[in-house]
Amino acid sequence: MNAQNRPTHERLKQGGLGALLVCGALVAGVALTAAALPGAPASATKGLSRSSVAMAEPVDDLSQEHLAAIGEAGTVYLSGTWSGFVNFPLPDGTTAWSDQIDASFSCSGFVASSDGYIVTAGHCADVAEGKTALVDQFLSDEVANGDITEADAQGYIAAGAEGAWPVEGQKTGEAPVLAMKVYPAISISADNASGFTAVLQDDRPLSQGDVALFKIDAPAPLPVLLVSGEQPATGQKVDAIGYPGNVTDLVSGNPQPTFAQGQVSGRQQTDGGPFTQIGVTMSPGMSGGPVINGTGDVVGAISFGPSGDTQQLNFAAAPETISALLARNGVKNTLSDADTFFRAGLSEYFDGRFHAAAEDLAKVVAANPQNAIAQQYQAKATEAFPRENTTGWILWAGIGGGVFLLLVIGLVVLLVLRGGRKRRATAAASAGAPFSTLPAAAGTPAPLAPSAAMPAPVTALSEPAAPVSAASSAAPPAPVPAQAPPAAPSASAYLPAAASVPVAASAPAAAAVPPASPPTPASPPVPAESLSTAGPHPAAAPLTHEPHPAAAPLGTEPHPAPAPPATDEPHAADAPLAAAEGPAAANTHCGACGRVVSEGQRFCTACGHPLSAAAAISPDAAS
């Protein structure tokens, strides 16, 4: 890289380094500020879009309250009624059909799909279980009516009435009819509950896994519980959620689901398939309820327990049995957009980000106004606004700004140091660089050096020139005395000299100006005999050579003085000095240049030479 391109390269390097530092400072400041700002990804969204909400899978177990909120929102209460006719024996040995019998029961379940698919226990929809329920209800009604005693009823049951007495539906040969209503936990608030009629889609009795699938037409998306794809490990903590029948009979209004904590005791294989054994206390009415792990995923559905066993020994349908039921009926077990916001709002609430939680839960309530749990936690989040730390980001923003400022200051200092080093290097290189030896550009005039042989300009005398005699013209010139070193050239030195200009009479002496170029040595004194006889001329003192630095004005054209002849004959150039006497007879001549000067004048007005008594002789004195 040559010297001409090096400064540009250095500037590019400095600019690139500066840009990198500035970008790094900006990134660091923005990252620190963004990390410190309180907020939630979901709260920044304006619509219910799953793509706009980043839901991270929990790694650690959630708190018990957090689990309860997720589990309760996805749990449903099922209220069923079997309707049919029972053929019972008479005392005379004949049989008779009863009036229509309605047997009511309750179960629990959970939402498997936001569009209304509900999973529960298979025996809650088993026809065999329905027939048994109708016989028991018939005997209970007979005891209540006083037709039989309680002992008679127990005798019938012991004799096998539940399995032996025929039970049919509205038509002969038809099975009894099941009417099921589903009450999502989110729609149960105070004494108001909204139930949805459920239609049985599929069921597997206890001997085939004990699972059933219902479908309801919900006007809004329901919170979903995801089924785990892994089998629970022995010893893993779980929660069983459901509505115990004995509790619903005791409380007034609409009950809340019960949470029973326990752990997985093992995995058991029965004639009906695999079941998960759990050490959780359960009671009738909780059948079909979800069993969830520490992250809120379903690992089973409550199934059955040994009759008469008071120990915590119960069984739940295996997660793979539930997944197979859903896949067989084309049900997608995924979170809806509203449910995603619901879970995000709960996470924000339990993380202390109450403003973000209130915003996300408000979106859920807008999508489903009947979601009582979302309303409950939205109100809690709003009440907790004063407890949220919303000023901590100021400290981090200050730290980010300080880091950015330090980086900018470092950049400025670096650029200043590099610029100073560059200037010092340039100055050092300039001080030690040799003079350029390159030739001058074309067209540039070179200054003319003064020549020793350049003739001095001759100024015309005021006297008229006398004619030069032939004898004096033919005489050889006298020797030329040594010349003084030439002075610096003046402006008039560059003017071309005339080859041969006769000396003519000039203006009066007062108008004469000094020559522009350094004077050359004056001609030797003119001998008296060389002068013309046309008129007498006073004798002059011998002339001596004293160059004078005075220069003639630009308007005067210099005339070279020819060298005196080498012989003793008078020089032709000196002939003009012998001017005829006239009106200027009272004047004298300069001893240096021969110019006529006034009597009593101290300096020659032509060459500036000082005039003395020996150099300037008046005509009167000469005579």
Whether the pLDDT of residue 566 is over 70: the answer is no
- Reported confidence tier of residue 70, pLDDT bands at 50, 70, 90: very high
φ and ψ at 42, to 5 degrees? -70, -30
The fold adopted by the segment(s) 76-329 is: Thrombin, subunit H (2.40.10)
Copy the structure tokens of residue 242: 């459901």
Q: CB-hemisphere CA count at 13 Å for 201? A: 20
| % of the chain surpassing 70 pLDDT | 59
pLDDT at residue 142 in the model: 95
Calculate the alpha carbon distances from 387 to 313, 382, 384, 517 in Å. Answer: 44, 10, 5, 102
CA separation for the pair 277, 267 (Å, rounded) = 6
Q: What is the chain's alpha carbon radius of gyration, rounded to the nearest angstrom?
A: 65
CB–CB of 168/84 below 8 Å?
yes
- The number of angstroms, rounded, from the C-alpha of 493 to the middle of its chain's C-alpha atoms is 73
Q: How many angstroms separate the first and last alpha carbons of the chain?
A: 88
If residue 81 lies in a helix (H) or strand (E), which one and from where to where?
Answer: strand 75-89
| Average pLDDT of the segment spanning 227-234 | 93
Range list for CATH 2.40.10.120 in the chain: 76-329
Looking only at the bridges linking them, the beta strands covering 75-89 and 211-215 are unpaired
CB–CB of 348/360 below 8 Å?
yes
- Reported confidence tier of residue 353, pLDDT bands at 50, 70, 90: very high
| Average pLDDT of the segment spanning 8-28 | 65
CB–CB of 569/471 below 8 Å?
yes
CB–CB of 299/238 below 8 Å?
yes
- Summarised one tens digit per residue, pLDDT across range 103-154 is 999 999 999 999 999 999 999 999 999 999 999 999 999 999 999 999 999 9
- Summarised one tens digit per residue, pLDDT across range 355-383 is 999 999 999 999 988 888 999 999 999 99
Choice between 36 and 108, residue whose per-residue pLDDT is larger: 108
Q: Which residues, listed in sequence order, are joined to residue 262 by a DSSP beta bridge?
A: 238
